[in-house]
A = this chain, B = another copy of it.
Amino acid sequence: MEIREKICTGLKLIKEKSPLIHHITNYVTVNDCANIVLAIGGSPVMADDSAEVTEMVGFASALVLNIGTLNTRTIESMLIAGLKAKELGVPVILDPVGVGATKLRTDTADKLIRELKPEVIRGNMSEIKVLAGLEAAIKGVDSLADEHGSSVVAKKLAIELGSIIAITGKTDVVSDGSQVCLIDNGHRILGDVTGTGCMTTSLVGTFCGATKDYYTAAVAGIISMGLAGEIAHASLRHGEGIGTFRARLFDSIYNLTPEILAKEGKLNYE
C-alpha cells in the first residue's frame, strides 16, 4: 500500500475507533491538545498522578508524554505510565519540549528515552539535535537551528534510538531509520501560536492509537497539522490574526477528510 493510502486509512480508523489518547503533558497547552484530539476524532484523557496513571494507560490506545512544564511529581508519573504502556504494547510518543535548555529537561528526556524507548519522538531541529548529541542553538524552547541536514540527523538518530524521529520545521522530516519522508505542508504563522508543536505530537499520538504503523502515523499527524495551518491561514481576512487563526485551525482539523489529507499532503520520500 502506498503511503498516501495508508494515511487515508489512518484517519478513517481514527474516526471509526475514536482511540483514547492518554496525555501527561504541560499545563500551558493541555486544553489545545485535548481539543485537537477531539477535533480529529480521538478521545483525550489527561491524568498525571502516579496513583492513577497505571490504570488510565490500561484504557489507552497511545500515551503522549510532553515535558513542557516538568516537575518532580509528573516526571515520576511519566516513567510509571510509560513502563506500563510498554508492558501493554501501548505506543509512547515523546515531545521533548525545550530539551537542552535546562539540565532537568535534558536529563528527563534522556531517561524517558532510555527507559521507555518511545515509538515516536517529535521535536523541532534544536531539540532533536540535542538528543542526537549535536550542538544546537537553544533559546528557551524555541528552535533556532537551520533545517540543513534534517534527514541525515533524523535517520541517524532513528537508528541509534530505535524510535521513529519526526523533526518539524519549514520542511518536516520523518524517519524510522530506513525510510525518510519529507513534508512540505504548513505555514509560517503556525510558529506564532503556542502549542502547535504540542498539538502536532497529540495528532501523531492519535494516529498511533488507531494504527500499528507508527511511521505512517507520524507522517499523517504532521501533514494534518500542516494542512490545517494552510487552510486556516488561507481563510484569514484583513485585520484577522492568530486569535482567529487558532479557532480556524481547530475547524480545519475537524473538517479534514481522509481523502483531502491523502491528496493534499506534499510528500517526498526515499
A71-B73, A251-B242 known; A102 and B39 CB under 8 Å? Answer: no
A28 and B21 CA atoms in complex are apart in Å by: 14
Check A52–B70 contact: CB distance below 8 A.
yes
Tell me, rounded to whole Å, the shortest Cβ–Cβ distance linking A264 to chain B.
Answer: 15
Check B28–A31 contact: CB distance below 8 A.
yes
A247 and B139 CA atoms in complex are apart in Å by: 28
A98 and B56 CA atoms in complex are apart in Å by: 10
A192-B39, A235-B239 known; A20 and B71 CB under 8 Å? Answer: no
Tell me, rounded to whole Å, the shortest Cβ–Cβ distance linking A94 to chain B.
Answer: 18
Pick from B48, B102, B246: contact of A71, CB below 8 A.
Answer: B48
Chain B positions within 8 Å of A52 at CB level: 70, 101-105
Chain A: how many interface residues by the 8 Å CB criterion?
64
Check A250–B255 contact: CB distance below 8 A.
no
Check A240–B251 contact: CB distance below 8 A.
yes
Pick from B103, B139, B193: contact of A38, CB below 8 A.
Answer: B193
What are the 10 closest A-B residue pairs judged by CB atoms, nearest first? A243-B250, A241-B254, A243-B247, A241-B251, A45-B140, A52-B102, A34-B194, A52-B104, A55-B102, A243-B251
14 other A-B residue contacts (CB within 8 Å) besides A45-B101, A55-B101, A242-B251: A20-B142, A26-B46, A31-B31, A39-B192, A43-B142, A48-B69, A51-B72, A51-B103, A52-B70, A52-B103, A59-B139, A241-B252, A243-B247, A244-B248
**22 CB-based A-B contacts, threshold 8 Å:** A20-B139, A29-B34, A31-B31, A39-B242, A43-B140, A45-B98, A45-B101, A45-B141, A45-B142, A46-B69, A47-B69, A47-B102, A49-B70, A51-B104, A55-B103, A239-B251, A240-B251, A241-B250, A241-B255, A243-B246, A243-B250, A244-B251
